[in-house]
Homo-oligomer: A and B are copies of this chain.
Amino acid sequence: MNGRIRCPALERRIVSAEDAARLIEDGMTVGVSGFTPSGCPKAVPAALARQATEEGRHVRIALLSGASTGGEIDTLLGGAGVIARRAPYITSEALRDVINAGGTAYRDGHLGSMARDVRGGRYGKLDLAIVEACAITEDGGIVPTTAVGCAQTYVRQAERVIVELNLTQPAELEGLHDLYAAADPPCCPPIPLTEVSQRIGRTAIPCDPDKIAAVVITEIPEKPRPLAPENADSRAIAGHLVAFLDAERAAGRPFAGRVPLQSGVGSVANAVLEGLMDSDFSHLCFYSEVMQDGVLDLIDAGKADFCSATSLSLSAAGMGRLLGNLDRYRDRIVLRDSEISNSPEVIRRLGVVAMNTAVEADLYGNVNSSHICGTRIFNGIGGSGDYARSAGLSVFMTASTARGGRISSIVPMVTHVDHTEHDVDVLVTEQGLADLRGLSPKERAERILACCAHPDYRPALREYFDAACAACGPVQTPHLLDRCFALHQRFLQRGTMREPSGDGD
């Protein structure tokens, strides 16, 4: 283990994952480290799932995370019926199905507020924290691995802590983290972060060794998500956006090229990074939740100087490239607590250009990030609200259609609002880009119709808008409450938002 456990007392607490999992009891509230599959505990959740399914052990817990988790948690534990309550974010299809079947009470929320909410008692007493580590320091300090999330707060708040020491995570990750011990009202100083690359904390999570109930040695490798493939739509969206940022920079607008970018995961986000590779932007920096492969490319190409994130959300190839060359990247990357990476205070101060993905957007610029047809949760709001509300420029991106053209992502009224009209500056589809800044709702509708809607759906959307204006008169936000969801209803009934063709289709 080569100095992985530097606190001798803790060597005596090494137990098997099976034994550690038995510390998790029915009714407990458990917090886990990590953000996306990165940095999450693996062995103990997998063992608990086994106990639940194979031994019929009845355990139902509230599970709190940083964001989505690895398959051992949401998919295995969720699928085994162990997760009674869940916050603040998921992406697992298995757990999504459980939630939408009523098996898990899911409270999705802003990722940047989660640690504060837990400290403030909103999720009750935290019984247990399970944290993946690449090392334990002399005084019990826990060195996280490829992501942080809410690990620091969960360790601080939990009665007991289980550390999963993952030997497949390189010990050289130590030093990459900057862990800031956030304070709470009423005595709360400003977060002293004013530059993306600044360090304001420590490299390990402080923890009284007596609180560490078990140390589990594991060699379960992380299963990174494969890189989402780009396609013609995502490349077109990226093209529109990079051209817009370039024009902003040319116009002397204060942000472009001088303030940090936030960029998520997925096909469109990857295409944007690709687009930046082909642009003449330089000295880019990122203040983001996740770091993707494209950022490594930008660093390697000398186009990006720095990336601050809470998670290395890299493909297997990207993770290999980073971990194999940590010395080269070490002074260009920092991993922070998610309450810092997603801090509205810091995001606002830095003037971040936020780029998030919409499920659907409406004519007036409201965005749905979370619900399919208003009812079935997809993922959750995640960090998009942390960024969009406080950003210097808030961009939402989506292909104008989904499911082979059977869904229009531009709709008369979104069926669920995650981002209000006040928080959406720019909307981009493969059709084009609508700059909505300073516009009134009806002006936004004209621009979104002209720039973003798919031509196949533009006539129906135009007809709705004209009919709403005619029926309501020139009110602030014309709508027809009996027809605003007609496209969605048609989709629910017929599997497509398209108008029936004349021949009886």
Contacts and interface: CB of A to CB of B under 8 A. Distances in A.
Contact of A350 (B185, B255, B420): B185
Contacts of A297: none
A250 interface: no
Nearest to A350: B185
A190 B190 contact: yes
Number of copies: 2
A87 B438 contact: yes
A123 B484 CA distance: 31
Nearest to A389: B389
Interface in A301-358: 344-345, 348-351
Contact of A254 (B120, B189, B419): B120
A438 B123 contact: yes
A194 B188 CA distance: 7
Given A375-B472, A385-B422, 7 more contacts: A117-B437, A120-B254, A120-B392, A188-B349, A345-B345, A375-B468, A376-B476
B392 A254 contact: no
3 closest Cβ pairs, A-B complex: A185-B351, A102-B474, A190-B190
Interface in A254-286: 254-255, 258-259
Contacts of A189: 194, 349
A481 B485 contact: yes
Interface of A: 85, 87, 99-102, 105-110, 117, 120-124, 184-192, 194, 253-255, 258-259, 344-345, 348-351, 366, 371, 373-377, 381, 385, 389-390, 392, 413, 415-420, 422, 437-440, 442-443, 468, 472-479, 481-482, 484-485, 488-489, 492
A366 B481 contact: no
Contact of A106 (B100, B371, B476): B476
A475 B345 contact: no
B186 A351 contact: yes
B366 A417 contact: yes
Contacts of A192: 190
Of A186, A187, A253, A366, chain B has the most CB atoms within 10 Å of the CB of A186
A474 B375 contact: no
A439 to B, nearest CB: 6
Contact of A417 (B188, B420, B492): B420
Given A186-B351, A188-B351, A488-B481, A371 B437 contact: no
Contacts of A484: 374, 485
A389 B440 contact: no
A185 B102 contact: no
Contact of A375 (B85, B87, B478): B478
Given A109-B422, A415-B479, A190 B376 contact: no
8 contacts: A87-B438, A106-B440, A117-B438, A185-B350, A188-B349, A374-B477, A375-B479, A416-B477
A477 B376 CA distance: 7
